[in-house]
Amino acid sequence: MRASVIGGGSWGSAMALHLGRLDINTKLWIREKDVYENTLRYRQNKTFLPGSVFPASVSFYNNIKETIVDTDFLFIAIPSKYCPSIYKLLAPLLSPRQLIISLTKGIEKNSLKRMSELMEDIFSSDFIPKIAILSGPSFAREVAESHPTAVVIASKDLKTSRLIQQNISNEYFRAYTTDDVTGVEIAGALKNIIAISAGICDGLEFGSNSIAALITRGIAEISRLGVKLGARHETFSGLAGIGDLVLTCTGKLSRNRYVGFELGKGKSLDQIVSKMNMVAEGVTTTLSTHHLSKRENIEMPICEEVYQILYKNKDPRTALQDLMTRKLKHENIS
């Protein structure tokens, strides 16, 4: 097996590191010239994944065409805002035998499409390759440090997801399979919005009650939209759903939780984002989800209040008060 990873951020680097440790010949494409040269020199990505040395089976590239030639599995780990342009670069370079695995958790802000939908649209001018989605509770740094991790691989073709599963699983990285691509992608994208709200609660110095409520009602909102879009409800009880949501809402390594925490402390979104060297997907996904929920006529009160905070400068305490004083209702988790 030969693999390529497109994206030299923390998650792309961690995946390349993991594949390399499995003795899979892996090419890692790094867009930023300075990060590429630094990684080539020190054999570690000191910008996005410091302290983890790549094995000899991982090589580094700055040319995207050279990166994907003669590889079997192509992992794409780039922020959603860059996906349209990167997919267009990849389209004429792909081979029908290559399997495409998306590691991106987001919704494209203009088309409101999931990453697999976007790929199918862009790649379809030549052919549509076999596509899979890898998601679940998986902080890049912990994968790099070989902490036991479980993920899920979603593909319309279960043979594809099983082949990927067999090739990337080991004693510390366990992959499950599903054919619910919609559910896995919606869960992976929207959990970042709830994580922002959890960070706001931490910034406001609320306790565990608040976080537990957000996680529980958050997964209800996410699954409500997901099912409307064709997902299966049970997917949101699994690794891509509640598993990833718990991690992102409570883990100290969560970028989206960090954004919320700083908002809760009174900082503006511009102040927060300007100091981050990595992308918090939840910021863009909040805008996409606002439009998607309106289009589908789905009530998503937590996501809507995060939207008001991020894009309408609503005070977080006012948003919380409005959320808590809504009309009382019967609990509905579907």
**pLDDT for 101-138, tens place per residue?**
999 999 999 999 999 999 999 998 778 899 999 999 99
pLDDT above 70: residue 34: yes
pLDDT above 90: residue 278: no
Q: What is the mean pLDDT of residues 181-193?
A: 97
pLDDT above 90: residue 146: yes
Q: Mind spelling out the 3-state secondary structure of the chain?
A: CEEEEECCCHHHHHHHHHHHHCCCEEEEECCCHHHHHHHHHHCECCCCCCCCECCCCEEEECCHHHHHCCCCEEEECCCHHHHHHHHHHHHHHCCCCCEEEECCCCECCCCCCEHHHHHHHHHCCCCCCEEEEEECCCCHHHHHCCCCEEEEEECCCHHHHHHHHHHHCCCCEEEEEECCHHHHHHHHHHHHHHHHHHHHHHHCCCCHHHHHHHHHHHHHHHHHHHHHCCCCHHHHHCHHHHHHHHHHHHCCCCHHHHHHHHHHCCCCHHHHHHCCCCCCHHHHHHHHHHHHHHHHCCCCHHHHHHHHHHHHCCCHHHHHHHHHCCCCCCCCCC
Give the per-residue pLDDT at 307: 97
The pLDDT tens digits for 74-85 are 999 999 999 999
pLDDT above 70: residue 234: yes
182-324 belongs to CATH 1.10.1040.10 = yes
pLDDT above 90: residue 277: no
Give the per-residue pLDDT at 33: 95
Could you tell me which CATH number the domain at 2-179 has?
Answer: 3.40.50.720
pLDDT above 90: residue 145: yes
Of 191, 228, 294, 327, catalytic: 191
Catalytic site includes residue 252: no
The model's confidence at residue 280, banded by pLDDT at 50, 70 and 90, is confident
The model's confidence at residue 334, banded by pLDDT at 50, 70 and 90, is low
pLDDT above 70: residue 264: yes
CATH 3.40.50.720 residue ranges in the chain? 2-179
pLDDT above 70: residue 149: yes
Give the per-residue pLDDT at 276: 84
CATH 1.10.1040.10 residue ranges in the chain? 182-324
Give the per-residue pLDDT at 128: 85
